[in-house]
């Protein structure tokens, strides 16, 4: 498995595979083609179908600016990966300097045909949760100590934690309409005001978590600075729980960093053994993965043991199996923003349930089983329901009347 630094990345919203991945690819390409006088970008598959709403064209042009770049959306090709793009650089005689074919594989990660990227290095020797937990038992390690054995990421994760909190803060201080044709209003601040006026402790907790998840997701939809967790579309779930435990429950940073390491481990396993790309596996791969990561973190923060942490993460993804990706108008707004809030609540519920379920029964579904199932379910999902805006809610919710 690769470094947690490749799972948690800071970048502009609204989509890790459609914004962050293309931005990183364009930057790398620009460095290698310094004498270019013109660029051309062709986006295929899901990048072509939802690239406009996800602002792929805007971000690519911004990287190459002031050098002009024509962006074309090409639909109907047979592709190796649903998020494919081709970048070409031309010199002043209009001769091709270089061409790259790039795959944006989810969470901001990219692959370039014919090139080996430094970022691809394997850091962890184990490939399944079963192998990890076996290694932990043999060496008497907790899951967060397992991470420490293979990489030092405390400083990096502190940056991630602080950025997640900044994102939630930024969103809570914004009101008005989100950019784009949906004319969707930000409501995070209103949810926070409702939470603060609430007298029921249980309802207050739910409203707070929802407010924080909405806040980070609205920032993402507006193109603000966010953290892939594991993607940008699902970047409201983990920050909502972290923010809640930090500011409302007054947990120490050290504890939260341990929780982040555990969340990262589960996210990495999903990324390696299935997918975290909505274009490949539907929303179960994004929101389902985020919920599993957050559930594992919450289970740890609630003092649960490794078996219970696994159970919480397993439940977090199990009950998102089959969830499709059908963003209305190609924007990461409907159903995405609300879905982040629901998944944050579900992550908390999964952790609470895991504690009690483990006292009365053996969990028959392991984390590894559910991850494989998610990957296979994604492969069986029709293309229309995998980040193409050609099916599901995207067909029935009218963009102009929203």
Binding site for ligand SF4 (CB under 6 A): 233-234, 278, 283, 286-287, 325, 327, 332, 335-336, 339, 387
**C-beta closer to ligand SF4: residue 107 or 264:** 107
Dihedral (CA of 42, 47, 52, 54) sign: negative
**C-beta closer to ligand SF4: residue 269 or 336:** 336
**C-beta closer to ligand SF4: residue 243 or 331:** 331
Report, in Å, the least distance between residue 351 CB and ligand SF4. Answer: 22
DSSP secondary structure of 272-285? HHS---HHHH-GGG
Q: At what angle do helices 287-301 and 336-360 cross, to 10 degrees?
A: 50
Report, in Å, the least distance between residue 359 CB and ligand SF4. Answer: 34
Alpha carbon 203 to chain centroid, angstroms:
27
Q: How would you label 341-367 residue by residue, b for 16+ Cβ within 10 Å and e otherwise?
A: bbbbbbbbbbbbbbbebbeeeebeebb
**C-beta closer to ligand SF4: residue 170 or 231:** 231
Report, in Å, the least distance between residue 264 CB and ligand SF4. Answer: 19
Longest pairwise C-alpha distance within the chain = 74
Cα distance between residue 220 and residue 340, in whole Å: 11
Report, in Å, the least distance between residue 332 CB and ligand SF4. Answer: 5
* Residue in the shown chain whose Cβ atom is closest to ligand SF4: 233
Cα distance between residue 281 and residue 387, in whole Å: 9
**C-beta closer to ligand SF4: residue 178 or 299:** 178
Burial, 138: exposed, middle or buried (Cβ in 10 Å; 0-12, 13-18, 19+)? Answer: exposed
Report, in Å, the least distance between residue 290 CB and ligand SF4. Answer: 9
Burial, 402: exposed, middle or buried (Cβ in 10 Å; 0-12, 13-18, 19+)? Answer: middle
**C-beta closer to ligand SF4: residue 247 or 322:** 322
Report, in Å, the least distance between residue 84 CB and ligand SF4. Answer: 18
């Amino acid at each position: 498995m690769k470094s947690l630094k490749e799972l948690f990345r800071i970048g502009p919203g609204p989509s890790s595979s459609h914004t962050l991945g293309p931005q990183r690819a364009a930057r790398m390409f620009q460095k290698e083609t310094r004498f270019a006088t013109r660029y051309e970008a062709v986006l295929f598959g899901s990048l072509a179908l939802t690239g406009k709403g996800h602002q792929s064209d805007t971000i690519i042009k911004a990287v190459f600016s002031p050098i002009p770049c024509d962006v074309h959306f090409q639909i109907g090709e047979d592709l190796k990966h649903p998020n494919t793009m081709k970048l070409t650089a031309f010199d002043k005689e209009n001769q091709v300097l270089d061409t790259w074919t790039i795959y944006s594989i989810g969470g901001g990660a990219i692959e370039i045909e014919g090139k080996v990227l430094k970022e691809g290095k394997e850091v962890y020797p184990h490939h399944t949760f079963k192998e990890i937990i076996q290694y932990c038992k043999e060496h008497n390690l907790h899951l967060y100590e397992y991470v420490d054995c293979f990489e030092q990421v405390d400083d990096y994760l502190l940056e991630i934690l602080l950025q997640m909190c900044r994102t939630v803060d930024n969103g809570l201080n914004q009101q008005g309409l989100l950019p784009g044709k949906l004319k969707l209003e930000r409501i995070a601040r209103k949810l926070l005001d409702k939470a603060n006026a609430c007298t029921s402790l249980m309802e207050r907790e739910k409203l707070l978590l929802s407010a924080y998840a909405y806040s980070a997701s609205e920032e993402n939809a507006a193109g603000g600075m966010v953290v892939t967790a594991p993607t940008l579309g699902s970047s409201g779930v983990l920050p909502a729980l972290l923010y809640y435990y930090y500011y409302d429950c007054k947990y120490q940073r050290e504890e939260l960093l341990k929780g982040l390491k555990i969340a990262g481990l589960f996210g990495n396993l999903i990324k390696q053994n299935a997918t975290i790309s909505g274009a490949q596996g539907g929303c179960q791969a994004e929101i389902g993965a985020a919920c599993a990561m957050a559930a594992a973190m919450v289970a740890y923060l609630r003092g649960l043991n490794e078996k219970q942490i696994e159970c919480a993460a397993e439940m977090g993804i199990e009950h998102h199996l089959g969830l499709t990706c059908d963003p209305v108008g190609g924007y990461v707004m409907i159903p995405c923003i609300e879905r982040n809030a629901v998944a944050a609540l579900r992550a908390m519920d999964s952790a609470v349930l895991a504690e009690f379920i483990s006292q009365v029964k053996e969990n028959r579904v392991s984390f590894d089983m559910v991850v494989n199932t998610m990957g296979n379910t994604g492969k069986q999902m029709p293309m229309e329901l995998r980040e193409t805006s050609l099916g599901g809610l995207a067909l029935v919710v009218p963009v102009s009347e929203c």
